[in-house]
């Protein structure tokens, strides 16, 4: 992908869940909800505070994240449907607990 997000924005590819329920019923695309999980494809350099100091991003390329259902802007880049959103719109990172230290 030849696109780089600016500031505190990230590019996410939605992770499409399986279209079959636990009972084995196939769900057509028009009744499925928009996925709220995704994989980060690209990360901007970070935001700036009031003094102009760069605030580094908390997420990185490859992270599996959860974000709000109506967050970001859906666009197509190089034929791929992606969501561009601010880091603050990301709710959390899956599997991050093993990388975080207790405060």
Write out residues in the chain with pLDDT < 50, as ranges. 101-103
In 3-state terms, what secondary structure has residue 89? helix
> What's the whole-model pTM score?
0.76
In 3-state terms, what secondary structure has residue 101? coil
Structure confidence by residue, pLDDT tens digits, 30-46: 555 667 899 999 999 99
Contacts of 8 (CB under 8 A, 6+ apart): 44, 46, 47, 55, 57, 86, 87, 88
Give the chain's domains with CATH numbers.
Answer: 9-91 (2.30.33.40)
In 3-state terms, what secondary structure has residue 68? coil
What pLDDT does residue 103 have? Answer: 40
Instruction: Retrieve residue 14's tokens.
Output: 């939605």
């Amino acid at each position: 992908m030849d696109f780089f997000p600016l500031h505190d924005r990230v590019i996410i590819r939605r992770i499409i869940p399986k279209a079959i329920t636990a009972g084995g019923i196939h769900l057509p695309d028009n009744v499925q909800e928009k996925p709220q999980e995704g994989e980060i494809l690209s990360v901007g350099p970070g935001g700036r505070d009031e003094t102009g100091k760069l605030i580094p991003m908390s997420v990185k390329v490859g992270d599996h994240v959860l974000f709000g259902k109506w967050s970001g802007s859906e666009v197509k880049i190089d034929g791929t449907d992606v969501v561009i959103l601010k880091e603050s719109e990301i709710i959390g990172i899956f599997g991050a607990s093993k990388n975080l230290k207790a405060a």
